[in-house]
Amino acid sequence: MADTVKEPSGSLTVVNGNSGRITPASQKVKNQATVIVGAQWGDEGKGKIVDLLAVKADVVCRCAGGNNAGHTVVVGKTEYDFHLLPSGVINPSCKSIIGNGLVVHLPGLFDELTKNEAKGLSGIRERLVISDRAHLVFDLHQSVDGLQENEKGLKKQQLGTTKKGIGPTYASKASRHGIRISDLIGDYDRFSEKFQNLVRIHKQAFPSLEVDVDAELARYRLLAEEVRPMVKDTVFLMNQVINNPQPQFIIVEGANAAMLDIDFGTYPYVTSSNCTVGGVLTGLGVPARAIGDVFGVVKAYTTRVGDGPFPTELTEEIGAGLQQRGAEFGVTTKRPRRCGWLDLVVVKYTHMLNGYSALAMTKLDILDALDEIKIGVAYRHEGKLLDSFPAELTLLDKVQVDYITLKGWKQDISAARKFEDLPKEALNYIQVVEEQLGVPVRWIGVGKKRDDVIERQ
């Protein structure tokens, strides 16, 4: 057992009984990661902010989720859609890492690579690193996802899943019959046994499930060789990066958003992974001290896809206008997004979870046409002010929202490139948000293109 000693300075050190080395217990990493997370229910425009920062990045990582997420980045006249790939792949000098916390559908990944290569992105495969500990999404997981959703539909309990197989794959992982990429590129006979066992377990639960085992095994034998050059021990790699004596700019790109986190979101209308800042540690295998700034991305209004409570939802003309002007349709599913006023009760709650250093507010320009704009600042139930964001969805469905009503600016702000260029009503809108949250707004999105962003120093 190691001995603990006290140095004269009062700092605690540990003497390792095996090697005799003295290691400061408070040892700091050389390079901390900048984390970018969604502050609402997703689709906030995280990819655009990641792309903005990734120009200077050495490493961009994803740590959770699968190809149920979707980011759109517009460069010039080209629009890139990313689902599994980190948005940093656009930067030719940046390494992109798919961490152990992700679930990976290999056919979908290679399809995504091919489509983006066809749009002019070259060298992606050489810059992409995939964790050997990431779990595999199989077509059978996607079939099961659909069967489960249909079953819930009969009971009027549908969750609005993307049917990409993400939930069933995480379920396989948690029940310890999942299959990792290390299994695929390792002993193929052992992989075959595991796959057949996976099929057997799912067919017991879903007798109508059809899987051509031989065809799948033949396909994955080829995929194993295609993915092999990209696979590494990313836990070791990430710890090399954070402890590199040379400065390294590391970005962690969150998928989905805090209100879709399986523990902290509006459960069960959530995703199947932890998409708050804690998921960075488990999804990449890095220590807590590796986290530096945490930037929350918040849309200037609120959207969500699928079912679930939405206190500030606008179901009439204004909501339809936001949906149309904001092109609020899912990148992955093309489903229309529900729209509502900015809900700062939600953002305060996710700030509690993530501890934002600053915010990026996207799509402020979508509010250009409105005479007046509302911001939700508190919830009440039966006249009583609620202290916190409720876990009980029946209560959340019944809350009344307290709003601040502000005058709209009624002009096009897309040409603004400095904070002072914005009309006073838009400045007021941002300042109210900052005052309510106690968090500065550092970036403001005023259009769809890559450079339609105001950065405040």
Pairing of strands 231-232, 372-381: unpaired
Confidence label for 21 from pLDDT (cuts 50, 70 and 90): low
Nearest to 286 by CA among 239, 325, 352: 239
* Contacting residues for 208 by C-beta, under 8 A, at least 6 apart: 147
Q: Is the pLDDT of residue 13 over 50?
A: no
Minimum mean pLDDT range among 150-164, 200-214, 408-422, 436-450 = 150-164
Nearest to 124 by CA among 229, 34, 277, 251: 229
Nearest to 310 by CA among 69, 71, 40: 40
What number of H helices and E strands is found in the chain?
14, 23
Instruction: For residue range 172-184, list pLDDT tens digits in order.
Output: 999 999 999 999 9
Helices 106-118, 213-227: inter-axial angle, 10-degree rounding: 50
Mean per-residue pLDDT for 339-354?
98
Known active-site residue 43: yes
Q: Is the pLDDT of residue 367 over 90?
A: yes
Res 161: pLDDT: 63
Query: Three-class SS of residue 79?
Result: strand
Q: Is the pLDDT of residue 14 over 50?
A: no
Token couple for 94: 């940046």
Mean per-residue pLDDT for 400-423?
97
Confidence label for 165 from pLDDT (cuts 50, 70 and 90): very high
Confidence label for 144 from pLDDT (cuts 50, 70 and 90): very high
Mean pLDDT of all residues in the chain? Answer: 90
Beta bridge partners of 240: none
* DSSP for residue 170: H
In Å, how far are 66, 109, 227 from 116, measured between CA atoms? 17, 11, 17
Instruction: For residue range 278-309, list pLDDT tens digits in order.
Output: 999 999 999 999 999 999 999 999 999 888 99
Of the candidates 43, 51, 58, 261, the residue annotated as catalytic is: 43
Nearest to 183 by CA among 218, 252, 231: 231
Cα 302 from Cα 128, distance rounded (Å):
33
Q: Is the pLDDT of residue 90 over 90?
A: no
Instruction: For residue range 93-130, list pLDDT tens digits in order.
Output: 999 999 999 999 999 999 999 999 999 999 999 999 99
Q: Is the pLDDT of residue 15 over 80?
A: no
Beta bridge partners of 373: 406
- Residues 77, 340, 453, 114, CA torsion sign: negative
Question: Is 170:261 a contact under the CB 8 Å cutoff?
Answer: no
Model pTM score: 0.89
Question: Is 37:23 a contact under the CB 8 Å cutoff?
Answer: no
Confidence label for 16 from pLDDT (cuts 50, 70 and 90): very low
In Å, how far are 102, 122, 198, 363 from 454, measured between CA atoms? 32, 29, 50, 11
Cα 62 from Cα 123, distance rounded (Å):
19
| Matching residue, tokens 């699928």 | 306
Please tell me which residue, 366 or 82, carries the higher pLDDT value: 366
Res 7: pLDDT: 43
CA Rg value for the chain: 23
Phi, psi dihedral angles at 40 (to 5 degrees)? -130, -130
Query: Three-class SS of residue 258?
Result: helix
Q: Is the pLDDT of residue 139 over 60?
A: yes
How many residues are given for the chain? 457
Q: Is the pLDDT of residue 223 over 60?
A: yes
Question: Is 38:230 a contact under the CB 8 Å cutoff?
Answer: no
* Letter string b/e over residues 123-149, b meaning 16 or more CB atoms within 10 A of that residue's CB: ebeebbbbbbbbbbbbebbbbbbebbb
Q: Is the pLDDT of residue 25 over 60?
A: no
Q: What string of H, E and C letters represents the secondary structure of 293-350? A: EEEEEEECCEEECCCCCCCCECCCHHHHHHHHHCCCECCCCCCECEEECEEHHHHHHH
pLDDT-above-90 percentage for the chain: 76
Res 27: pLDDT: 67
Q: Is the pLDDT of residue 397 over 90?
A: yes
404 sits in which H/E element? strand 400-407
Question: Is 364:300 a contact under the CB 8 Å cutoff?
Answer: yes
Instruction: For residue range 309-343, list pLDDT tens digits in order.
Output: 999 999 999 999 999 999 998 766 678 999 999 99
Considering all CA atoms of the chain, what is the largest pairwise distance in Å, rounded to the nearest integer?
71
Known active-site residue 177: no
Nearest to 58 by CA among 98, 102, 92, 83: 92
Question: Is 399:386 a contact under the CB 8 Å cutoff?
Answer: yes
Of the candidates 51, 58, 71, 135, the residue annotated as catalytic is: 71
Mean per-residue pLDDT for 52-68?
92
